[in-house]
Amino acid sequence: MREVKVLGVGCAKCEKLFENVKQAAEEVGVEIALEKVTDISKIMGFGVMITPALVVDGEVKAAGKVLSVEQIKELLTKDE
């Protein structure tokens, strides 16, 4: 199971990234533990200054942009 976090304060881009992650995991059949992190201090704890951001297994994979479903699929299936 992959641990995935979407970091953001709840803006439209953050919501879109969250939905894209759910869709990507479903399409590739990867089981994920998905969490939305909205607490600014927790977000900054990842070293992220611009949201939305995507964290996979504790590592920041993207910040400041909404990844496409295809991009997220690649990240979820890498190193499996």
Q: Say which of 3, 9, 10, 11 is annotated catalytic.
A: 11
Q: Kindly name the residue from 4, 14, 66, 72 that is annotated as catalytic.
A: 14
Answer yes or no: 73 catalytic.
no
Element at 22 (helix H, strand E): helix 12-28
What does the angle CA 4 – CA 40 – CA 48 come to, to the nearest 5 degrees? 60
| Catalytic-residue membership of 80 | no
| β partners of residue 54 | 6, 62
Q: Which residues are catalytic?
A: 11, 14
